[in-house]
Amino acid sequence: MVPQKQKINTRAKSPKGKKENNTKFIIVTGGVCSSLGKGIATSSIGAIMKACGFKVFVQKLDPYLNVDPGTMSPFQHGEVYVTNDGAETDLDLGHYERFIDEPMSKWSTVTTGKIYTDVLAKERRGDFLGGTIQVVPHITNAIKEAIREAAAQSGADIMMVEIGGTVGDIEGEPFLEAIRQMKSEDQVFHVHLTLLPYLKGSKELKTKPTQLSVRELRRIGLHPDMILARADYKIPKELLDKVSRFCDVPREAVIPALTVNSIYDVPLNYQKHDLAQIIGKKLDLGPLNPDMSKWEEGRERYEKAEKTVPIALVGKYTGLDDAYLSVIEAIKSAAVHHGRKAEIVWVESEKLEQKDPEAWQELKRCKGMVVPGGFGIRGIEGKIAAAKYARTQKIPYLGLCLGAQILTIEFARAMLKDRELTSEEFDEEGKIPPSKYVVHFLPGQHKGRAKGGTLRLGAYKCKLKEGTKAYEAYEVDEIEERHRHRYEFNNSLRKKLEDKGLVFSGEWPETQLMEIVEIRNHPFMLGSQFHPEFKSRPHRPHPLFRTFMGAVVEKRK
């Protein structure tokens, strides 16, 4: 809701009584190079605008040809973030939700592949009446329609739109052209995030790449309203003046975006330069005064957390932090909640499988263990060995999706004295009898099925069993969590495993599909078939991560 003191008519009616969409749009582009943190910048601006009292929604426009990131390797694109409505999306949507604390949806993600798929489907149906289909106007119109439809569906006062890639990329030009057209059709504020590289030889930051990036924008017909100057060193005032002068952007709208200790300090750093007031003036929002108290309290909490606690992240994509981005942020948030700073210790499961002494030494020095999701057989026996260590040595363990299946398989092998017990996913040659599957395909899933968008995706309800660690964590009877998998626990083994001490503490009420498993008489050894990391927030850690970290801290005393 828009505060009463800020009188803007975001839902004005036309003379015919039909509602008009008067959403204000804030567009974020990037220049010079990739990986500058456009997602963090977009999220931070959105957080500031929400702190002003506006309803904020965010959309990511990705120039790649994939329809969505669902089939892309984590090594290439990082984690696949899943929304409540089951969209497989770019990891930046995780930043949006964590910063703005609003759920994103399928309207939050648009790719070139999706735009072309939709436009060509219309052409095949004859929607264009035999016309020649072109990038302009058909593709650009589809992009504008996707942006405006997201604004309408979300009912946002402020619609944040991040354009992926870097200005100058060939594949990004249709998106920039669509924005150029929107600037004359809607109320648009354009933020350009760009790099000021530091040359060690001359010991100075350089503005020329930024000037060239803005010159490229001008060639396209865009003129940024604000420049966020990314740098690892303090930017001298004269350089900010120079950027303003050569890029023709008001001096107060050239804002230093320095590297900080925590990404959650970025909103405070931006607002220190009156970012909300600059945007409010341009978009006719009136005088804005964001309430940043939540962010101030968060910063104090992070600064007070001094003692470190090593947490093992046992995975198979350990070469890229972004592959487990939401998991890492959830661990850090939970640690701070308990007055600690998490030291993430990367443990590659393949090395555990190979009995690498250094990998095992790293694992054994950790006070807690998180085993995240993944697909395929590579490194699985290493994860099972890690779960055995956690079970036998009473090390707090949190398993996420695949990590929950690993927990169950290891427990079943040990307690039922059968080394052949496994998951149907790992029986690639089909030589193991189905009776040996502790985990098998969900109904409707099979090995020959297409990969993209076919898993169990999105939010599902889960009923909790009283007296369990899961119930203790949530303190409610029923929850709703997000999924991304195609396997389930084999109910035919349930009774045998329960008799041996495995607790099925959460199930999907509709079919008794097992959602949470935990081991009795253990400080904390729990796995969830869903992905709790997607709902963790910097100022409000997820209950499972919070309770897991509580067990870690308690054991360390």
Kindly state the tokens that stand for 509.
Answer: 């009420």
Strands (E), 122-277: 158-163, 188-195, 198-199, 204-205, 226-231, 254-258
Using only C-alpha atoms, the chain has a radius of gyration, in whole angstroms, of 25
Q: Which tokens sit at 281?
A: 């003036």
DSSP string, 445-492: --TTS--TT-SEEEEEEEEEPTTSHHHHHH-SSEEEEEEEESEEE-GG
Angle of CA points 380, 381, 383, to nearest 5°:
65
Interatomic CA distance for residues 287 and 274, integer angstroms: 11
- To the nearest 10°, the Cα dihedral for 46, 217, 113, 60? 0
Q: CA–CA distance from 253 to each of 3, 120, 212, 247, 249 (Å)?
A: 25, 41, 18, 11, 7
Beta bridge partners of 58: 160
Q: For 486-557, list the strands marked E by DSSP.
A: 487-489, 502-508, 513-519, 525-528
Does a cis peptide bond (omega within 30 degrees of 0) precede residue 433? no
Q: Which residues in 321-432 belong to E strands, given as ranges?
A: 340-348, 368-371, 397-400, 422-423
Q: How far is CA 62 from the centre of its chain?
A: 15
- What is the amino acid identity at position 20? E
Give, in order, the Cα–Cα distances in Å from 252 to each of 74, 255, 273.
Answer: 39, 7, 8
**Could you tell me which residues come within 8 angstroms of residue 194 by beta carbon, excluding any fewer than 6 positions away?**
30, 31, 32, 36, 209, 210, 213, 214, 227, 228, 229, 230
Place of tokens 């040359």: 199
For residues 445 and 485, the answer to whether their CB atoms sit within 8 Å is no
Q: Say if residues 57 and 45 touch (Cβ distance below 8 Å).
A: no
For residue 41, which of 63, 58, 24 has the smallest C-alpha distance? 58
Active site residues: 401, 531, 533
Residue 476 CB: number of other CB atoms within 10 A? 9
Distance CA 426, CA 113 (A): 32
Pairing of strands 24-31, 188-195: parallel
